[in-house]
Amino acid sequence: MDGIKGKVIAITGASGGIGEATGRLLAERGASVVLGARRGERLDKIARDIHDAGGRAVACAIDVTRLEDLQRLVDQAVTGFGRLDVLVSNAGVGRIGPMADLDLDGWSAMIDVNIRGVLHGIAASLPVFRRQGRGHLVTTVSTAGLRIVPTQGVYAATKNAVRTLVEGLRQESTDGVLRTTMVSPGFTRTGFADSIDNPELRQQIRRNMEEFAIPPQAVARAIAFAIEQPDDVEIGDITIRPTVQG
């Protein structure tokens, strides 16, 4: 806990699922959190809950596909709390389905949110981290990129693109200023299925989640583990999934 207390941490995709659980846990452990997502009213409620529990949180309605929104999120951290120690790039969308469906809109959405959103976070936070002489980029990827299965090819491609760019950034940042962590959750109890258009596939994913998915708090604890390490220790990759997931 000592490695988290007092840190300023911004989180995208913080209005539900893994992002919400991470924000609540880190605030409970003494961090000041800046919660970013599109659902402003939901963010406001989460921030009020954290305040009522004695924590520090501010809400910032953003769309990660817009660079200026990520810059506003980072600016809010620096202006409100004096600095930014960690950016958790968690926002993501999974418009999965057979490639033969030719869901070009879904493909574009995944590219814009899952890849471009991470790049926008890097562009907004890296100058601040460099100026401070220290920073930590935590990125949520997925086990979908580790085991490629039908209907998830494009989604997995976006997650593996993020693996490549974060590893490239890590190799360019071995001067001790920047730490990078990639967290790959398996089936987690979130609203992931809500963005799936195919009704049969959507129901299948929901059934799997009900049967064996882990709670988002489990992933939040993994993220906290990476953040709480001393500054000279980098947890590069964490894979966390249900013990029964194939």
Query: How many distinct structural domains can be found in the chain?
Result: 1
Q: Tell me, yes or no, whether 245 lies in a domain.
A: no
Per-residue pLDDT of the chain (246 residues; tens, 9 = 90+): 479 999 999 999 999 999 999 999 999 999 999 999 999 999 999 999 999 999 999 999 999 999 999 999 999 999 999 999 999 999 999 998 999 999 999 999 999 999 999 999 999 999 999 999 999 999 999 999 999 999 999 999 999 999 999 999 999 999 999 999 999 999 999 888 777 878 888 888 888 888 899 999 999 999 999 999 999 999 999 999 999 998
Q: Tell me, yes or no, whether 130 lies in a domain.
A: yes
Q: Tell me, yes or no, whether 1 lies in a domain.
A: no
Given 155, 162, 178, 185, which residue is catalytic?
155
pLDDT at 1: 45
Q: Tell me, yes or no, whether 209 lies in a domain.
A: yes
pLDDT at 210: 86
Q: Tell me, yes or no, whether 45 lies in a domain.
A: yes
pLDDT at 148: 93
The domain spanning residue 39 has which CATH number? 3.40.50.720
Q: Tell me, yes or no, whether 36 lies in a domain.
A: yes
Q: Tell me, yes or no, whether 235 lies in a domain.
A: yes
Q: How far apart are CA 224 and CA 227, in angstroms?
A: 5
61 given a catalytic annotation: no
Structural domain boundaries, residue 116: 8-239
Q: Tell me, yes or no, whether 153 lies in a domain.
A: yes
